[in-house]
Amino acid sequence: MALKPFVQVSGNGPALALIHGWGLHGGIWQTVLPQLEEHFTVYNIDMPGFGRSPVHNGDYDFGYLVDAIADVLPDSCHLMGWSLGGLVATGLAIRLPQKIQRLVTVASNPCFVANESWKFGMQAQTLESFIDYLEEDYEGTLIRFLGIQTMGSATQKEDIKKLKDAVFLHGQPSKKALRGGLQILHDMNIIDQLSLLNMPILRLYGRLDSLVPAKVAQDVAAHMPNSQSKVYRRAAHAPFLSTSEEFVSDVCEFLLTEVSA
């Protein structure tokens, strides 16, 4: 693939690749990055069209994201993805089980939009309205979407400031990536593929999250019985911002603990 995503490599230890969420870039992990670098060689990836990563001229769809990020993953690594990044990380783990040792998803959902058989998700019209508004005022729409991610958090004001400070740090995200990312959140449903996952998996949620209701944890568990989950009581959609120390502790404990025989 000619246009590879930007990857910032830092730290020392087992490889850990990070995938951010919609509208942002790898800089959003800055709150927890110094602690992670103490234990891991961190591969902090900007998804195509966000941060410092270029975007190709073809369709911006789920397959493209998975292929692009697969192209920059180390041969063997742990993988952690937040929100849309968690969906992509899950797709990568399904596609490349030989590369992914352990998987962590943060405030993510295998089907972000609620339907008759999957009740804990966003309403389709909510995402559709964001897609429509994006054409009229993409900067305002992006900021509103980021605001929703922090609603209810015990540290809401601090969280939204971190998100806003980060979003345009490396310039404006690609409109194609913004539009395509929302469409992926609207369309993708990988529930039926979850049973293919055999590596250890940790799923992290915020109890106050309005985008990925924490109640979905139980439904996901039914499809991933070997996974484990945790819900942060005072966090919304970005628990790594509002409960940073506890978050890092949980991630490190999961990734660094030997699997018992």
**237 annotated active-site:** yes
How many angstroms separate the CA atoms of 51 and 208, rounded?
28
Looking up tokens 């991933």 gives 224
Phi and psi at residue 62, to the nearest 5°: -60, -45
Active-site position among 46, 108, 153, 209 = 209
The residues, ordered by sequence, that sit 6+ positions from 105 with a Cβ below 8 Å of its Cβ are 80, 81, 82, 86, 89, 90, 201, 202, 203, 204
Give the CA dihedral 172, 177, 178, 180, nearest 10 degrees: 170
Looking up tokens 């352990």 gives 102
**219 annotated active-site:** no
Active-site position among 83, 108, 227, 242 = 83
How many angstroms separate the CA atoms of 78 and 103, rounded?
6
205 neighbors 232 (Cβ within 8 angstroms) = yes
**186 annotated active-site:** no
Active site residues: 83, 209, 237
